[in-house]
Amino acid sequence: MLPSRQTIRAALFAVILPASLAPGAAAAPAPDSLAGDPGLGPSTAAPWNPPSPVPGSEPWEAALRVPGKIVSLPFEALGAATEATLEYVESSNLLPRVEALLALRATVGLDVRPAGLGDRTGFGGEAQYNPRWFRALVADVSGSTAGYNRERVRLSRSFASVEYESDWRPRELFFGEGLGSSKRSVSAYASQVELARLGLEYTPGGAPASRWPRLQARAWAGPRDVVLRRGRDPRKPSITESFPSTSAAELDTHVEHFVYGVRAALDTRRGSPHWTNGWRISGQAERYDKSLDWLALRSGDAPERPFTRYVAEGEAGISFLRDPRTVRLALRVVDSELGAGSGLFLVPDLARLGGREGLSGFEPGRFQALDSAVGKLTYLFPLGRYVELDTHAEAGGVYSRLRDARVSSLKNSYGVQLRIRSLTTLLGFVGVDWCDEGARVNFSLGGIE
Amino acid sequence: MTPALLAGLAGFAALGFAAAPVAPEAAVDPKPGEGAEAQAAPVPRPRDVSYYRDGFEQTVRPLTRACDLPTLIRRLSGNPREAANVDASDQVRLPSTWWQPRVGFRVVTADDMLRGPGPGTGPAPGKWRVAKAKTRGVSAGFQIKDAQGTRFAIKFDVPKYPELTTGAEVVATYLYWAAGYNVPDNVIVTFRREDLEIAPDAKYDDPLKGNIPMSEEFLDKVLAKAARNPDGSYRAVASRFLRGKPLGEFEYSGRRKDDPEDLIAHQHRRELRGLWTINSWIHHDDCSARNTLDMWVLDGGRSFVRHYLIDFNGTLGAASIDKHSDRSGTEYLLDYGVAARSLATLGLVPYRWEAAVDPELPSIGFIESRRFDPKGWRPFLPNPAFDERTLRDIRWGARIVAGFKEELIRAAVKQARYSDPRAEDYLVRVLLERRDKIVHRWLGATAPTAARTDP
């Protein structure tokens, strides 16, 4: 039989009481509390003190802490390093300096920030130049430790814009087509995309981001050139080794399309720090047509296969209680229709799932096919003033024809994210997503919603 | 990185604190020749507690405390370590350089209280010479010398919440003094732009250019961040510089070992442990080491360290440049207990603060009494002295709170000079109701308190 809590207390008390009578703490005789009180003003007399210093811990407490101190040495070291860093940040006035430098951006027009190149791209940065003397021009360059890079130049005025983009992605993953592809058949490929486009955008009232609800309509047209290259990931076999038949015709072959499309979106979401109520819906149709010789970026090496891609997205959420607990449901469907002909349809043009594109527990690009459908149910709730938890479940699949989609064929993924928030915005998250193939840890600084 | 994100990160790095205080850079006490012994006393070394480091330390400390064997043993055995500086009647041993018995122990009139922290007159009439600007922290402010050469720190409200911070600072100053603590002399002042002139040697710390001379343009920029009265004048708190030599903050744990009079680890001082109860009443949730100050003073013929509480812009309904969040007082910056409960219930059980009603008075901010929990009140950051508090410490503080009569509370609130009469009435009512809750919870229904003598 276990001793009762009272018994334990009594035993501990008996042991501790004698030890806890620290010498000096109560050694002096007890005078009347207010004796010698000079009045309401602060005293100038020497303060009462025990004969010897009263330490924070009594000897028996200090002794009991020794093993714990030894065990926690690595944490102590980590804590000391963190404290030293924080002291440096504060004493060097670092944050105000960074803030002041960022304030200069508006005048200089140069901005440096983390890059948004996607999953598995390593640590990246982006430099953007938007000259003060020519605000219509925006140029940016992004690069990452995994060798990804992207350059963009955009010239815009009112509702019209012209842009050019070059995107090098050296370590994209390909596992084969369809839901039946195996995780073990992983391979890597590189792609180089170059595009130029003329865009038109309509937002009622020239909507600033704070306008509600937000309605946006866009149309664009321009040439696009894609070339598939051997994968540059040293830890993954190249697509040329794992899928020689798929890649043989496509490798190092420039394929050019004339692309035009439209997109309309309506967004009624609102709330902070995460959006709490409302919905968004968008529809996009994009035609990858035969290239126009007079408008081509390059003369394609092989005939292209025209296709049309439709993307429909919708998401809705509701919240309850003051610190919002939010339930969200999101759906995304991609439907591609291949045109007639025998031209090339490249791997980078396949619809993808895995990573941030849906089914986050799977590797990015884990499932690829012409069409895809994915749904996500999210429940967000607060853990405290500056922390909230995002729990979510996803189900989705890729198909050669969307009508082949079956509930029984869907792949599932689950995840949680610990999100750091200020009172008005989300700052970053660290999370884990898992599926029947394993788990993936992910994190982000900014750019969450 | 977006500005919003950076601002958020900066705020989070600062752990969401209110602005760093304007350090009262007092000169050495000018009164010479009060005794050779005093002159010879060794001056403790000034120090500067890092706000960030302290924030990190106090955020991590609950985890280490939860794993601390002696703490666990004390808890299980029901044998907490009592304060080390109390006598047989459980009162603070006197004399003390930390605290002086006032309300709850002696008769303190409203006049006593209003004269207590200092003359309460603010700067002398005439031009104010701006000597230094406050560039760190989020709130605007500068230091001036009045026409008689007396130095003051001038602090403002933000335009969104006129009278909020200044009002809270002044009310809390008087309440803390009456509660027995050493505080600076803070009063509400009104001035116009033309009352200011820049001292020839005035400088400010520019984040990029370093210490550079102050210009009229810069002063205008500082004032642009401040709330103005309808007639265009500025309302501010004038905080008279404390006499003596500033030695930096005191910490709520450990000792200042180079001070021969500081022999008791601070977390075992009754005045600091019991401060929890008073802070819960005044809703001073930013009671970290950074809002304290040790001064080396020459007084009564001897030199010694006097310990001050300063910077009350995180008291009552104010949180420096903002009002208190609805949840302030109910959870720490990072509260592991609250997080664990939320995790276990998937956040489906409402927090107590979620039913609190905001008075919607800009000059009051957010403070209320209906949902105030005198047992569960928590500051923004865990405080080592508060963590050691025992029932006896809490009751000691409750005795002080119980001694505040309505007359005293109203006199303190009046010093805020709220332009909206509803603000004064609301704040007095909330303080009375919070007082009564504290008294009822910690002293019981039969306690002889001012609560029962109020009309």
Q: In the numeric block, which tokens belong to residue B107?
A: 């008769």
**CA distances to A354, B336, B338 from A429, in Å:** 19, 18, 19
Q: Is B338–A44 a contact, with Cβ atoms under 8 angstroms apart?
A: no
- A299 in the same domain as A203: yes
Which whole-number Å values give the CA distances from B237 to B27, B124, B226, B323, in the listed order?
21, 14, 12, 17
Contact A161, A201 (CB under 8 A): yes
Distance CA B158, CA B223 (A): 10
DSSP labels, B203-258: EEEETTTEEEE--HHHHHHHHHTS-B-TTS-EEEEEEEPPSSEE--PPPSSS--TT
**Is position B143 within any domain?**
no
Q: Residue A436 is part of a domain; what is its CATH number?
A: 2.40.160.50
Residue owning tokens 């291949």: A338
Task: Point out the residue among B10, B89, B351 whose CB comes nearest to the CB of A99.
Answer: B10
- Tell if the CB–CB gap between A93 and B78 is shorter than 8 Å: no
Residue B323 forms part of a structural domain: yes
Are residues A174 and A294 both part of a single domain? yes
What would the 3-class secondary structure string for A422-444 be? CCCCEEEEEEEEEECCEEEEEEE
Range of the domain at A383: 158-445
Residue A98 sits in the same domain as residue A168: no
Full pLDDT tens readout for chain A, 449 residues: 344 444 444 444 444 434 333 333 333 333 334 444 458 999 999 999 999 999 999 999 999 999 988 988 998 899 999 999 999 998 888 888 888 888 887 788 888 888 889 888 988 999 999 998 898 999 999 999 999 999 999 999 989 999 999 999 999 999 999 999 999 999 999 999 999 999 999 988 765 666 778 899 999 999 999 999 999 999 999 999 999 888 788 889 999 999 999 999 999 999 989 999 999 999 999 999 999 888 888 876 778 899 999 999 999 999 999 999 999 999 999 999 998 878 889 999 999 999 999 999 999 999 999 999 999 999 999 999 999 999 999 999 999 999 999 999 999 999 999 999 988 889 999 999 999 999 999 888 877 77
Residue contact B343–A385, C-beta within 8 A? no
When CB atoms are compared, the residue of B8, B70, B112 closest to A425 is B8
Same domain, A101 and A250: no
Locate the DSSP E strands across A268-324: 278-290, 307-320
Q: Do residues A95 and A206 share a domain? A: no
As a residue count, chain B comes to: 455
Residues of chain B contacting A87 with CB distance shorter than 8 Å: 50, 52-53
- Mark whether A79 and A220 lie in a shared domain: no
Residues in chain B with CB shorter than 8 Å from the CB of A92 are none
Contact status of A107 with chain B (Cβ, < 8 Å) = no
**Domain count for chain A:** 2
Contact B263 A49 (CB under 8 A): yes
Q: Do A100 and B207 touch (CB under 8 A)?
A: yes
Rounded Cα gap, residues A124 and A113, in angstroms:
9
Classify strands A307-320 and A325-338 as parallel, antiparallel or unpaired: antiparallel
DSSP label at residue B367: -
Is A282:A255 a contact under the CB 8 Å cutoff?
Answer: no
CA distance B157 to B141: 9
Q: Where is mean pLDDT largest: A293-297, B19-23, B194-198?
A: B194-198
Question: Computed over its alpha carbons, how large is the radius of gyration of chain A?
Answer: 31
Judge whether A122 lies within some domain: no
Tally of domains in chain B? 1
With a pLDDT cut of 70, the percent of chain B lying above it is 88
Chain A (270-329) residues lying within 8 Å, Cβ to Cβ, of chain B: 321-323, 325
Given CB atoms, is A13 within the 8 Å cutoff of chain B?
Answer: yes
In a domain, A236, yes or no: yes
B33 vs A308, more confident: A308
Task: Answer whether A53 touches B (CB < 8 Å).
Answer: yes
Please choose, from the candidates A200, A151, A145, the residue with its C-alpha nearest in 3D space to the C-alpha of residue A170: A145
Is residue A55 domain-resident?
Answer: no
Q: Are A196 and A324 found together in one domain?
A: yes
Residue type at position B102: R
Tokens of A89: 């940040």
CB contact under 8 A, B264 and A322: no
With respect to residue A44, please indicate whether it lies within any of the assigned structural domains: no
Task: Tell whether A208 and A304 lie within a shared domain.
Answer: yes
The answer to whether the Cβ–Cβ distance between B343 and A389 falls below 8 Å is yes
Please report whether residue B132 resides in a domain: no
Q: What is the ipTM of this complex?
A: 0.87
- Is A439 found in the same domain as A309? yes
Range of the domain at B426: 9-22+38-117+174-182+245-455
Quickly list DSSP for A329-391. EEEEEEEEEEPSSS-B--GGGSEEESGGGS-TTSPTTSEEESEEEEEEEEEEEEEETTEEEEE
pLDDT value at position A18? 40
Q: Same domain, yes or no, for A94 and A199?
A: no
Query: Which helix or strand (DSSP H or E) is residue B99 part of?
Result: none
- B320 falls within a domain: yes
- The verdict on residue A12 lying in a domain is no
Q: Which of B417, B46, B25 is nearest to B240 (CA)?
A: B25
